[in-house]
Structure 1
């Protein structure tokens, strides 16, 4: 490698963005759980510990270059499936009875973890590898090769999507990752556009069925708590569910914050469990529109630096990995803030790097590790369709 490839191996834009998000997050957890709820420092300390563990994960993952990640992908893919199967078998029964969700496993001494958050990483890797390998064989995009690619993507995606389908919010994140990578894969728009229209029609059809014929969906395995979230979204003031009460309280909290907010730890609105999915209500109430805009700006800066790394490194495998990571983070931000202000239905999706939740935070930090790996191993790898090996370019 030339000398310039040895310099700037650490992307300080990404590091600074994540550090600011971490400080903002710890402040919000402290404000929500300690100052507002009077629960002491335990949750703030645990959140800080998860950040420390996530930092270790970043330091470890960034040591692996694209060639090593390529070779590890299939093993990680299988591990991800096993984690999701374990969730179905050993989910926390008590938590499921209380919330209706079956996405958590309780580990004595640690608490609950959500394996689906960790499994997003191998899901991104397998899709990135599939597209990279396919495009190395088919240098031009024809209808036949594009349908083959979509078939391969569907084959690898099906186990993950089937195993997370009981959690609508998580399933939507996986779908967002898949859609982002497909859009960047080079598949002809004549194929993508009709597919998009079909998916949109199905989504609208599901909403209509929830309103007019939910018995049909119940027979398909949908749960009442999923219906409640649609009811809350369409008419929160008329719904009697706990979700409706929670989201209307969120509206009040964010609205009461005004332009600059009431100050750290000041609250006049009670919101149950606001430190997790509803953490944006604390941002809005404490720091108002200015605080919310600043947080969105931090996300924008982080994503900008992720995109910049891809252009600088010029590695196709990395490009698809970065696409999956960016779609994952961007969809989380859009959905969480969107549901907090009433634009989108509630789906139980946390706000990346901000919400309380060790599994989600660790998964996001692992994704940052993949991004940091791109700059740290600034090599020109290209994939040869003749084998499973990478070669160093000139």
Structure 2
């Protein structure tokens, strides 16, 4: 009987259930970017565009390998330093932001590095998740769960969020701020905070959200919000979302074209490599319209299923590792990816307003890809450093 060859130890330590869907998303990304660039003369050479994104993928893969070398104890110790670097970058971009991008988007959130642009808030997302996980783990190791202690933990979490929120407000980057709020909401749910606190707190947040929506969708409300720093381009996106057919030549043009493109794909799409509808910024924010038009409803559902499988595997690894600190990290990363997917696809089909949120692992862009791949690296490190015990960090800070 032939002897079955034993797989090397390193092979067993890699979470292939996460690696495979990410590789599939990378292939989809490069192909859809190629299609979009090949059908848009303003994009220049399709080959150059795809090679540029491919280089970002290679750099990100190297970053994943680096992140995987850190175990939970090391991640716990370096979290404040990573968070601090992220805050410094968010401050620096307020003074060194790309003037051209700010003029086009209204957001002062991009560095200009030669021919490249870089958005530090994308790197801040995994840095913030690490810090949030440290705060929760440290608090839970030091204190029992009482109503008083849970309020203290919630205050700590909000305290670490506030500097990020203020800096993003100064950058006029409301869309990214929503991602951080989603991360906090997810981590709070698994932090052990009593439901006696969570339910009324989330109820108040929901009430504030309803009031905010009422303000942004009404002319009088928008006038009030202008006194609090909201910009005209933000209201233009809201109005385009509410009435995309009202002005398809200016404010709602991108959304209207995206809806036309996705609708024209019907069930199976018009065919791989073919695009008949022009959509602005199609390689980044509106990349889903390429998939919808070329591969139709079936192709779009296949993409969503890949994301679903990726999230499912992340949850599975979290339960397998049985490490509380890792569970807080994975929850933050899962919420980050889920919100990106939900918002990007939602805005492409007019379910949600335009916010400039990229589609994870698929949209063109280096900084967003780096941030998401760091998140993947953190999840992979759970499997790589698998231990069936919780470490004590109560004395560290």
Q: Over residues 261-290 of structure 1, what are the superposed CA-to-partner deviations in whole Å (9 max), with x where a residue is unaligned?
A: 011221111111111100000000000011
Residue 199 (structure 2) aligns with: 193
Matched, 1:160 2:164: yes
Q: Does residue 1:376 correspond to 2:384, yes or no?
A: yes
Separation in 2, partners of 1:243, 1:144:
49
Distance 1:340 1:94 in 2: 25
Question: Structure 2 CA distance, aligned partners of 1:285 and 1:162?
Answer: 39
2:360 is aligned with 1:356? no
Q: Give the RMSD, CA atoms, in angstroms.
A: 1.7
Task: Single out whichever of 156-165 and 324-333 deviates more from structure 2.
Answer: 156-165
Aligned partner (choices 253, 261, 266) of residue 258 of structure 1: 266
TM-aligned CA deviation for residue 334 of structure 1: 0.5
User: Structure 1's 142 and 248: CA in aligned 2 closer, same or farther, altered over 3 A?
Assistant: same
Alpha carbons 1:81, 1:119 under 8 Å: kept = yes
The answer as to whether partners of 1:352 and 1:360 remain within 8 angstroms in 2 is yes
Structure 1 runs (4+) greater than 6 angstroms displaced: 4-7
TM-score, length-scaled by structure 2: 0.93
SS of 1:112's equivalent in the other structure is strand
Q: 1:138 is matched with which residue?
A: 143
Q: CA, structure 1 residues 385+284, in 2 after alignment: closer, same or farther (shift >3 Å)?
A: closer
Secondary structure of 2:117's match? strand
**Change beyond 3 A, Cα 1:5–1:386:** farther
Pairing 1:113–2:121 present: no
- Tell me the distance in 2 between the aligned counterparts of 1:153 and 1:213: 30
Q: CA offsets, 1:39-89, max 9 Å, x none?
A: 321111101110011000001100110111111011111001001111111
8 Å CA contact retained: 1:22, 1:354: yes
TM-score when normalising by structure 1: 0.94
Distance 1:344 1:82 in 2: 32
Query: Which of the numbers 32, 37, 49 marks the counterpart of 1:28?
Result: 32
Aligned residues of 1:5 and 1:378 also touching (Cα < 8 A):
no
Ranges in structure 1 where 5+ consecutive residues have no aligned partner: 390-394
- How far is the alpha carbon of 1:232 from its aligned partner? 1.2
In the alignment, does 2:105 pair up with 1:99? yes
Provide the residue aligned with 1:72 in structure 2: 78
Kept in 1: contact 2:314–2:334 (CA 8 A):
yes
Range that drifts further, 208-217 or 290-299: 208-217
Q: After TM superposition, list the pairs within 5 Å mapping 1:44-55 onto structure 2.
A: 44-55=50-61
In the alignment, what sits opposite 1:392? none
2:248–2:256 contact (8 Å) kept in structure 1: no
1:35: how far off? 4.0
Kept in 2, the 8 Å contact 1:5–1:379? The answer is: no
How far 1:101 sits from its partner (Å)?
A: 1.8
Q: Which runs of 5+ in 2 are unaligned?
A: 1-7
Aligned-pair CA distance for 1:207: 2.3
In structure 2, distance between residues paired with 1:49 and 1:34:
19
Do the aligned residues in 1 keep the contact of 2:322 with 2:390 (CA within 8 Å)?
no
Count of matched residue pairs: 384
Query: Secondary structure of 2:294's match?
Result: helix
User: Is 1:86 aligned with 2:92?
Assistant: yes
Partner of 1:62: 68
Q: Does 1:17 align with 2:25?
A: no
* Per-residue deviation, residues 167-202 of structure 1 (Å, max 9, x unmatched): 111000011001100011111222112221221222
